[in-house]
Every structure is written in C-alpha cells, then in structure tokens.
Amino acid sequence: MTSENPKAFNHIPVIDISGLYSDDLEQQKLVANNIGYAAENVGFFYITGHQIATDTFEKLLQQAKAFFALPLEEKMRYYAGLSGIKHRGYVPVGEEGYGALDEDIVDDNKEAFDLSWDLAEDDPDVVAKKPMHGSNVWVDLPNFKQDVNAYYQEAIALGRVLLHGFELALGLKPNELNRLVNKPTSQLRLLHYAYHANAEDKLGFGAHTDMELFTILKPTTAGLEVMNSEGVWIDAPPIENAFVINVGDMTEALSGGRFIATSHRVRKVKEERYAFPLFFACDYDVIIEPLPQFSTPESRQKYPPLKAGQHLFEMSAKGFKYMKRMVRDGEIVLTGSEVTFGKHLSATPTKAE
C-alpha cells in the first residue's frame, strides 16, 4: 500500500486473527487495529488464524461437488422456488438476475444451493410467515445435512469473532454489534461455475457491493477482483487456509462511512470454480442507520434508515425469477421503498462471489 493514499491499494492485506481468540484484551486490540485499517482503507482482507478446520471445509466442498454433479431433474427436486419466501434450496443457471421476468439472464453462468439460519416450523417468526425465516432444505445425500450444517455453524461462530473485532476497531462497547445477531438472515451459498472449454476470460458479474454486515468467502479458484480508489481492479486469488472478508453496506452505514464496502466483481474463467460465501447479517428487524457515535447530518443523509431483513428480502424479490412471479401474482407485495445504499447494478446477479 502507498503511504500517500492507502485506498489506492495494490494487494489485499492478510491478517492473522488468532489474537481475537485470546483472553488478553491487548492481543485482541492488536488484531482489531489491523482489521480497522483494512476496513477503512481497503474494505477487503484475508484472515488466517481462524479456528475452522481444513477438514470442515473439505467436507463442505465434497458435498457441493456431489450435489452439483446430480442430473438437473434430481437437483430441481430441491428448487428454491418450492420453498417460497423463506428461500432455501437449489438455484439453477439462469434463475438469478435483475430485469424483467421474461428476460433471459445471459450472464448468469452459475448454479447455487442456498441455506440460512435453520428454524423449527413452530418458531414464532416462521408461523408468522416472516420472509427469509424457516427450516433449511437438505439434500438426500449421505451426511449432506451434517457436513453442510457443520460448516455453517463454524462460519457463524467465526462471524461473531470478527464482529467483536469490528467492535474493538470502531471503539464500540462489547456486544454493541453482536447483540444485533440473534436470529440472523445470514445466508450461506454453495456456488458452482461449470467448466467451459471455450469460455473467454471476461467480465462475469459487474461491480457491486454486498448488502450485509460482511461476507466470509472461501473460493476454490481465482476470479474475484476488487476495485481500489483509483478505479484499478486488484486480483484477490485464494490463499491456502485463508478466508476472504469484505465489508458490507450495512457495516458501512452503521459506521457512518468510516468502514467501506468496496466494489468487487467476478470474472469468467475457463477453470471450474466453487465458491462459498457466508453473508453475515443481523436480525430481520434491525434498523440500519449510523450508530450514535457516527451520526452526523451528512451520514444520516447518506445512510437513511432501513429495516435490514426487509431490505434484503425485497432486493431478493427483484433478483430471483420465482420471486418475480410471486410479485406478479400478488403473493409478494413490495413496499416500493427506494431507500438503499451501496452499489447494485441492474445487470448484477444478487449474490455471487
């Protein structure tokens, strides 16, 4: 990074977060200072020193490979459109992308399997039919639920540790951010980009920012690029036993813009690619706006209040074909609110990393 303009970065910093697991507050603060610098100037960083075992990820990867290798007819048994507003299950190629319902999504070359916070059917929010709340869809493959759920739980635990690091970096009280995460709309996506022998290395998904607090990403191959302050795209290739973390719109808003959600994109490459983003979110009813410590006339104007889960759901309803059909048929009624922040281009699929 250049000392003159640290936001004109030419690489993504790597941070050893093992100190966040220490009982020594000073060790925690050392890590938090590094997180704060990266979040303020880059919006992206790698983490090592986490406590997710390599075997936990390998089991997730093998389950993803087994599922996506199934015939399309078999995968469609788990089609997300069958789960309605809770949005769980399989997302086929061409399902995802903003635009009219009858438009073909020509740039959507991925397939996905989505899951989230697993709730019992008698949970009050499920009974009340609150969007994005419900039980997960589990594939009928040996140990699929066990292996995928194990990774999800470990990723959520990692997210809480990172959120504590963000609290320290922002000078907040303990649990000031973590208290917002009790029954979160935190989605894990299993993404598969198929091998195409004739594929050209060109733009696959346009510049965008992620909407949640932050994203915990584990990809198998290159493809992710991050834009610095001078408009230059910087590669963010996989690093062994490391995760990619990027600040989301909601953390930017909560911090009044101190931490930045940086634009990024995925390029098409010939190599088959799997990617596993965990979009770490807060609870549905949390109102996202600058915290009192960061509230100024300027920040309040830039980051108007919005309800976290409602915003995520309505953005999803504009991005998935089955939800667009539900909107058309009156099964989903959108508020019509245009309150938003971040960068979400009309040609950008909703959640691709």
Task: Give the other-Cβ count within 10 Å of 73's Cβ.
Answer: 7
Q: For residue range 51-66, what is the model confidence (pLDDT) as tens digits? A: 999 999 999 999 999 9
Looking at residue 204, its pLDDT comes to: 44
H helices present in the chain, as ranges? 25-41, 54-68, 72-75, 124-127, 144-169, 249-254, 297-302, 308-317, 321-328
Domain ranges of the chain: 14-328
Looking at residue 32, its pLDDT comes to: 98
Looking at residue 340, its pLDDT comes to: 66
Looking at residue 194, its pLDDT comes to: 86
What is 14-328's CATH number? 2.60.120.330
Task: Give the other-Cβ count within 10 Å of 54's Cβ.
Answer: 9
pTM of the model: 0.92
The b/e string for 310-341 (b: 16+ C-beta within 10 A; e otherwise) is bbbbbbbbbbbbbbbebeeeeebeeeeeeeeb
Q: How crowded is the C-beta side of 205, counted as CA atoms within 13 Å?
A: 26
In the block, tokens 């007819």 appear at: 73
Helices 144-169 and 25-41: angle between axes, nearest 10 degrees:
90
The stretches in the chain having pLDDT less than 70 are: 1-3, 98-108, 198-206, 268-269, 336-353
Looking at residue 174, its pLDDT comes to: 93
Q: For residue range 313-347, what is the model confidence (pLDDT) as tens digits? A: 988 888 889 989 999 899 988 886 666 666 654 33
Looking at residue 208, its pLDDT comes to: 79
Looking at residue 348, its pLDDT comes to: 41
SS3 content of the chain, % helix, strand, coil (to 5): 35, 20, 45
Q: How far apart are the C-alpha atoms of 126 and 121, rounded to whole Å?
A: 6
Looking at residue 318, its pLDDT comes to: 84
Contact 192, 274 (CB under 8 A): yes
Nearest to 243 by CA among 220, 263, 274: 220
3-state class of 115 per DSSP? Answer: strand
